[in-house]
Amino acid sequence: MTLDKWKLDYIDYLHSGRLDEAINLKRQNIPSKLYRFEKYEKNRIDTLLRNSIYVSHPDNFDDPYDAKGYYWNEIDLQRCFDGKTRDVPVEKYVKEIKKIVQDWFKNCWIGCFTEDMNNFPLWYYYADKYTGFCVEYDFSCLPQHNLFQQRLQPVIYLKQKFNLTLSLEAVCDPEKVINNEPVPSYWLHIIGNLIKNESWEFEKEWRYVSYDGITKEGGKEVNLPVKPTHIYCGKDMAEENYEVMLKAAESLGCECSKIRLNSFEDREFIVC
């Protein structure tokens, strides 16, 4: 599978600090439909009815490298430090950068979506072996100033970790870091949460990424700025559960249907 070129350009724009270009490029490429897979559980249906999603810390995800898909060259950071100031020990500068990065990871929240409703592994694992459901949303209609739209990001799948050294050098000015002054690290936090190993590319993931500086166990709810456009129920969902989902869809003002496999006469591997 080949990564879309625009996603490589996007991460390059973020890495080089060309934020306006990155924002415009991402906005042009937000899919008209994104999907979220869920198990059939009362708390998940209640969250759906509140028009919210549950976001979690990446520590709770399947991928042990989630939000850790980057590295930096400590020697280059020291060289950057030496070129700007000699008033304090370089070890403190590097230590403070590590603390900043750890804070990103500790205080970030992620909600997952996918571009692909016909994703059989996702139906199996995240919709509980086709007994759960998949919710369709259209976030592409949101204006650029909308906060949710700004926090919606494409996942970038790479063979190796991403080298964050140049970005750290640009953002983490030694004087500010050592004096505990704020540094504009949010977009670095975005990069850090978007890189995953290419073995996960089948998920075709987009994610809502927020950073609120508040450490909390488990997860929390985030209100959505749009309502679902369709709820797809798994082919093996119990009929009584399907009736519940039909009522939920009616309450939300969206369509609801139960997927089925296509016939032996059809060529494509799709559900409909």
**Whether the predicted pLDDT of 213 surpasses 70:** no
Q: Structure pTM?
A: 0.88
Give percent above pLDDT 90 in the chain.
51
Distances 90 to 35, 60, 99, 175 between C-alpha atoms, Å? 46, 34, 14, 11
Burial of 41 (0-12, 13-18, 19+ CB in 10 A): exposed
- 4-13, 73-82, 85-94, 126-135: lowest mean pLDDT where? 85-94
Question: Quick one: pLDDT band at residue 95, thresholds 50, 70, 90?
Answer: confident
pLDDT value for 156: 93
Partners of residue 271 on adjacent β-strands: 261
Closest CA to 86 of 169, 166, 175: 175
Give the least confident one: 35-39, 176-180, 241-245.
176-180
Tens digits of residue pLDDT in 218-260: 688 999 999 999 999 999 999 999 999 999 999 999 999 999 8
Residue 68, pLDDT > 60, answer: yes
Average pLDDT along the chain: 86
Give CA separation, 76 vs 136, 162, 214, in Å: 45, 15, 31
Q: How confident is the model at residue 83 (pLDDT cuts 50, 70, 90)?
A: low
pLDDT at 224: 97
Q: Work out the number of other CB atoms within 10 angstroms of the CB of residue 241.
A: 16
Greatest CA separation for the chain? 75
Contact yes or no for 86/92 (Cβ under 8 A): no
Residue type, 12: D
Residue 46: pLDDT over 90: yes
Judged against a pLDDT cut of 70, whether residue 271 lies above it is answered with no
Is the Cβ–Cβ distance between 227 and 254 less than 8 Å?
Answer: yes
Give the pLDDT confidence score for residue 185 in this predicted structure: 64
DSSP designation for 223: E
| Overall average pLDDT of the 63-86 stretch | 77
- How far, in Å, CA of 132 to CA of 257, rounded? 12
Question: Computed from CA positions of residues 92, 99, 11, 26, in that sequence, does the dihedral angle turn out positive or negative?
Answer: negative
Is the model's pLDDT at 3 over the cut of 90? no
